[in-house]
Amino acid sequence: MMQGFPIFLSLRERRALVVGGCDAAARKIELLLSAGAQVSLVAETVTGCIAQLIADGRIVWVGRAFEAGELEGVSLVIVACDDVELQGRVSRAAQARGVPVNVVDTPALSSFIMPSIVDRGPITIAISTGGTAPALARKLRGEIERAVPAAIGRLARFAEIFRAQVRRTLAEPRARRLFWDRVFEGRVGELALAGDEIAARRELIRLLDSVRGESVPAQGMVHLVGAGPGDPDLLTLKAHRLLQHADVIVHDRLVAPEVLAMARRDAERLCVSPEDAAQRLLALARAGRSVVRLTVGNPFAEIEALRLAGVSVEVVPGVPEIEHTAATVKSSG
């Protein structure tokens, strides 16, 4: 279960209040300014960094003790000070007014958690441990920063240029999704990431012209994926990719929720009994859907039924329980 509901809050041209004038407050102020917020600061004394922001006119400073009236018209509050009594007072006042508040390093007084952030504007990736292990969130941020190309934001901005045109050309949502998959995973994506926007534009227009008028295949395909012993880390890379692209995930009750959670969020999920699985898969394939059948059992009967009906089937084996157990015993020995 999630410890909190993840959202991205628009603060552009909205007021944000920071209470405290220390170095931690300076870091939060910079973050709020980068999000386009209008920042007000309440603190009796400030550090040199904050003094420069005040001198430059980038923030409004109220040089006195906090008063509840400061919360009027504020969209968000961050408390960055060591005064425990002040922390509690600001937190109570903000929550009484329904204003989101974060007290730095004090989850118990906070109504939201500040995540670790990977900024690849306009792409933003936020990582949170619910306040339980901030150091782990920072470690994960470092790993993601190494894995995500610095230029990935360039690809997002490029896609935005053509979004309306693609929507007009491809009316069906699934057709658009398949088109964008081809864009991001193919030559267009490579050119955009490399900074050759002119060539990327030409290639995207050529690709869009080539799929104009195409219909989604009359008959879909079924991928039978072994769910293994229930550990999502043991899914093959191919299984993970298929789960991210499938229209429908058909599973039985033995498939672990952690494995199901690896599928894209808007994919349809159907829990079926082994007796009904073949007929449901056949109906979905004939409706043109791309289907992943997650199973921990032997799908031989389903494979035969689908192939006899002329449906394309791909089998992606999982990690068998016996192999997982043997590997665990070996590593612990």
Query: pLDDT tens digits, residue range 272-316?
Result: 988 889 999 999 988 888 899 998 877 888 899 999 998 888 888
**Sheet of 221-226, strand order:** 268-271, 248-251, 290-295, 221-226, 312-316
Question: What fold characterizes domain 152-211?
Answer: Helicase, Ruva Protein; domain 3 (1.10.8)
Structurally, at CATH architecture level, domain 15-114 sits in 3-Layer(aba) Sandwich (3.40)
Please state, in angstroms and rounded to a whole number, the distance separating the CA atoms of residues 87 and 89. 6
What are 6-52's pLDDT values in tens digits?
999 999 999 999 999 999 999 999 999 999 999 999 999 999 999 99
Write down the domain spans for the chain.
15-114, 117-148, 152-211, 221-319
Mean pLDDT confidence for 77-93: 97
The distance in angstroms from the start CA to the end CA of the chain is 33
Instruction: Give me the long-range contacts of 186-189 (CB less than 8 A, separation at least 24).
Output: 189/155
Question: Which one of 102-116, 203-217, 301-315 scores highest in mean pLDDT?
Answer: 102-116
H-type alpha helices, 253-320: 257-260, 274-286, 300-308
DSSP state of 114: P
pLDDT at 331 over 50: no
Could you give the 3-state DSSP secondary structure of residue 43?
Answer: coil
Given CATH 3.30.160, say whether it is the number of domain 117-148: yes
Q: How confident is the model at residue 213 (pLDDT cuts 50, 70, 90)?
A: low
Please state, in angstroms and rounded to a whole number, the distance separating the CA atoms of residues 227 and 233. 11
Return mean pLDDT, the chain. 88
Q: Which residues of 28-46 are buried (b: 16+ CB within 10 A; e: fewer)?
A: bbebbbebebbbbbbbeeb
Task: Give the pLDDT score at 231.
Answer: 80
Question: How many degrees, rounded to 5, is the angle at CA 96 between CA 95 and CA 102?
Answer: 15
Could you give the 3-state DSSP secondary structure of residue 125?
Answer: strand
Phi, psi (rounded to 5 degrees) for 330: -65, -45
Helix (H) or strand (E) holding 78: strand 74-79
Share of the chain above pLDDT 90, in %: 57
As assigned by CATH, the class of the 221-319 domain is alpha beta
Question: Which one of 71-80, 119-128, 237-246, 313-322 scores highest in mean pLDDT?
Answer: 71-80
**Sheet of 60-62, strand order:** 60-62, 38-42, 15-19, 74-79, 101-103
Of 330 and 24, which is predicted with more confidence?
24
